[in-house]
Amino acid sequence: MKILISNDDGYLAPGLLALADIMSKIAEVTVVAPERNRSGASNALTLDKPLSVSRAGANVFFVDGTPSDCVHVALTGLLDFRPDLVLSGINQGQNMGDDTLYSGTVAAATEGFLFGIPSIAFSQVDKGWDHLEDAAKFALNLVQRKLDMLDQPYLLNVNIPNCPFAELKGVQVTRLGKRHQSEPVIKSADPRGNPIYWIGPSGEAKDGGEGTDFHAVGQRYVSVTPLQIDLTHNRQLDILKKAWQ
């Protein structure tokens, strides 16, 4: 089995190192990840400059681009093989609800999925890397299930509470919840007195009821959400067509 691993926290992030280490027990692992933190990069591809790829180890590469760049370059030119699985993470902090649209972690997995490869994004719910080895252990257990019963390829978004493995209550298969709007930007000034703006923190859960990823992790369950890419608003197709009749 051959696994490609990427992330958005950068190739030196503890979460990626833990994931690569534990997956090496069952597979041939190759890491292609950003050279620095690219959180919030979403599915961006770099089209305004060439990308540089550097080697940090026998099977470890880092790219001066986005998470999507990393997987794209790996699958279309860098690697001389097609991986059986693409993994992203383990991210420092949750990627749930609307966050998945911005997440570089989810984007790296999505890029693998778009190339027809089963892909999984892993995140810890809280920042700080607490109980990272336990999160990696869960990731290994999930990968070993193979999930052949799912439509191929599949795209899964997994959020793991920061707690000992034995204290995880289990797995809940969930839908994405929804958040309130983000908090306002934080206004400041640079050393020359010019105004600058920091993006504010995410809003609280707006739809965090039973069945959502928010609810699951709040009860110390691992949330596993199957994702799809079709953004078509099917219920509005016929309504919109009538505007041209």
pLDDT tens series, the chain, 245 aa:
999 999 999 999 999 999 999 999 999 999 999 999 998 898 999 999 999 999 998 999 999 999 999 999 999 999 999 999 999 999 999 999 988 999 999 999 999 999 999 999 999 999 999 999 999 999 999 999 988 899 999 999 999 999 999 999 999 999 998 876 767 888 999 999 999 888 777 766 666 688 899 999 999 999 999 999 998 998 899 899 988 87
Class for the domain spanning 2-177+206-242: alpha beta
Asked if 86 contacts 108 with a C-beta cutoff of 8 angstroms, the reply is yes
DSSP 175: B
User: Which pLDDT score is estimated for 223?
Assistant: 96
For the chain, which residues make up each domain, given as ranges?
Answer: 2-177+206-242
Q: How far apart are alpha carbons 97 and 206 in whole angstroms?
A: 10
**Cis (ω within 30 of 0) for the bond into 118?**
no
Q: 188: number of CA atoms within 13 Å, CB side?
A: 7
Asked if 91 contacts 105 with a C-beta cutoff of 8 angstroms, the reply is yes
User: Which pLDDT score is estimated for 179?
Assistant: 78
Give φ, ψ of 123 to 5 degrees.
-140, 145
Q: How far apart are alpha carbons 113 and 90 in whole angstroms?
A: 18
Asked if 20 contacts 48 with a C-beta cutoff of 8 angstroms, the reply is no
